[in-house]
Amino acid sequence: MPVGTTDAAPYDAVLLLSFGGPEKPEDVLPFLQNVTRGRGIPDERLKEVGEHYYSFGGKSPINDQNRALLAALREEIELPIYWGNRNWAPYLTDTLREMAADGIRRAVVIVTAAYPSYSGCRQYRENLEDAARDVPNAPRLDKLRHYANHPGFVGSFVEATADALSTLPEGSAIAYVTHSIPNAMNDTSGPDGNGYVDWHLDVAAEIDAELERRTGQTRRTDLVYCSRSGPPQVPWLEPDVNDHLEALAADGAPGVAVVPIGFVSDHMEVIYDLDTEAAATAEKLRLPMARAATPGTDERFVTMLRDLVLERAAAERGEQPDRPCVGKLGAAWDDCRHDCCPPLRRPARPSAVKESA
Ligand SMILES: CC1=C(CCC(=O)O)c2cc3nc(cc4[nH]c(cc5[nH]c(cc1n2)c(C)c5CCC(=O)O)c(CCC(=O)O)c4C)C(CCC(=O)O)=C3C
Ligand SMILES: [Fe+2]
């Protein structure tokens, strides 16, 4: 049954908030400027990342992924669902303006990033604040809890990993992959620090455990990283997926399932850094590799998002909803603390979404 307007009270809309990406070659440079403004990314790295986009015709997959997710969500949720991005059209400010014009007073925000960190959480909230400041009568906004350890998200990756392994030789390894971030950013991720790595390790352990329950087999599994950026002297989370493939090949691994648990859909990092670059590394090493699917519009993922909207609505009405989660970390907080996931080089700014003290 689709979620009706009564179940979702006090919300009168949903906002899908994403990163955004270029649609055509002329968009690539202005997009990269939006993303990296004031972040000290070396020109070399920007040129390189620009080439990743040009090699796909200047078009990122992320916007079409979000259009597909919107269509799937609209089948499940009867409230109006809006879409806005941090770094490309439809820009968040325009979306909030449209919501205000439509008379939306209070919306629940789905972010297409599942884990705590400045890049995946507070940066989205700061951009909401910046956008809301420019919009008279902007709606009140609540962001869903981090959902990486929700059974819907983990379940989707369990199936995808099982599918990938089924195409590989017996005894193949699993490489869980996420976006690298500066070590210093991980140090302050989540309310107690190290949240980015801890959450990924917990999700990986749950997928491992479920696959072991199903098959009775254990195998080598690791958490590794892609898409490192920033100046070379700044330490980022390692090992890089390509170095890891070298290590697996040297150890005689019969194959590897590459499982992008850090990504909710096929972003550029997935189709370039994994499907293009890492796949070429594996080929060179003659290491059989299969990349597991991302959640995208998988039914478990879409149903999870619907359930999280209902859960949050119930909590805001003062009820005590069930908060499904797997792993050892427990369900995430609804409202982030004002001091969690701070920016690296300046104090935390106010955020448009509710925070706890
Ligand atoms: C943790 C994390 C996620 C996952 C959470 C989430 O999904 O938000 C993520 C997602 C994404 N990152 C993306 C693209 C880029 N990220 C960059 C740069 C950076 N990412 C960082 C971290 C993350 N990024 C960081 C610490 C930087 C350094 C600069 C800075 O501190 O901000 C750069 C600049 C060039 C470069 O430096 O590589 C680009 C172009 C796209 C769009 C892809 C598409 O088009 O499909 C998506 C979904
Ligand atoms: Fe990024």
pLDDT of 14 over the 60 cut: yes
Q: Which pLDDT score, from 0 to 100, does residue 2 have? A: 65
pLDDT of 133 over the 80 cut: yes
Test site for ligand 1: of 32, 48, 64, 119, most ligand atoms within 8 A of the Cβ: 119
Binding pocket residue ranges, ligand 1, CB within 6 Å: 19, 21, 32, 35-36, 39, 41, 45, 49, 60-62, 112-113, 117, 119-120, 179, 181, 227, 229-230, 262, 267-269
Residue whose Cα lies nearest atom 7 of ligand 1: it is 113
Average pLDDT for 120-140? 94
CA gap 10, 13 in Å, rounded:
9
Q: Where are the alpha helices (DSSP H) in the chain?
A: 25-36, 43-54, 62-76, 92-101, 123-133, 151-166, 183-187, 195-215, 241-250, 268, 279-285, 299-316
pLDDT of 357 over the 70 cut: no
pLDDT of 349 over the 80 cut: no
Q: Which two tokens stand for residue 199?
A: 């959450």
Report the percentage of the chain scoring pLDDT > 90. Answer: 87
Whether the link from the prior residue into 151 is cis, omega within 30° of 0, is no
- Contact assessment for residue 90 and residue 83, using Cβ atoms and an 8 Å cutoff: yes
Give pLDDT tens digits for 83-119.
Answer: 999 999 999 999 999 999 999 999 999 999 999 999 9
More confident residue, 269 or 342: 269
* DSSP string covering 152-206: HHHHHHHHHHHHHHHTS-TT-EEEEEEE--BHHHHHT-STTS-HHHHHHHHHHHH
More confident residue, 67 or 6: 67
Cα(229) to ligand 2 centroid in Å equals 8
CA gap 267, 62 in Å, rounded:
5
pLDDT of 248 over the 80 cut: yes
Q: Which pLDDT score, from 0 to 100, does residue 130 have? A: 92
Q: Which pLDDT score, from 0 to 100, does residue 192 have? A: 93
Nearest ligand, CA 180: 1
User: Terminal CA-to-CA distance of the chain, rounded, Å?
Assistant: 37
Q: Strand, coil or helix: what is 260?
A: coil
Q: Where are the alpha helices (DSSP H) in 1-83?
A: 25-36, 43-54, 62-76
Question: Which element (helix H / strand E) includes 349?
Answer: none
Q: Which pLDDT score, from 0 to 100, does residue 345 have? A: 82
Q: Which pLDDT score, from 0 to 100, does residue 337 have? A: 85
Mean pLDDT across the chain: 95
Cα(143) to ligand 2 centroid in Å equals 20
pLDDT of 352 over the 80 cut: no
Q: Which two tokens stand for residue 221?
A: 């599994």
Give pLDDT tens digits for 258-311.
Answer: 999 999 999 999 999 999 999 999 999 999 999 999 999 999 999 999 999 999
**Residue 182 Cα: closest atom of ligand 1:** 26
Report ipTM (2 d.p.): 0.96
How far CA 178 is from CA of 23, 80, 294, in Å, comes to 24, 32, 12
Q: Which pLDDT score, from 0 to 100, does residue 4 have? A: 67
Nearest ligand, CA 35: 1
List the single range of 50-59, 74-83, 228-237 with lowest mean pLDDT: 228-237
Q: Which pLDDT score, from 0 to 100, does residue 40 have? A: 78
Report the percentage of the chain scoring pLDDT > 70. Answer: 98
Q: Which two tokens stand for residue 101?
A: 């014009």
pLDDT of 5 over the 70 cut: no
Query: Which domains are delineated in the chain?
Result: 13-147+297-316 (3.40.50.1400), 151-291 (3.40.50.1400)
Query: Which of these, 63, 103, 70, lies nearest to 85 by C-alpha position?
Result: 63
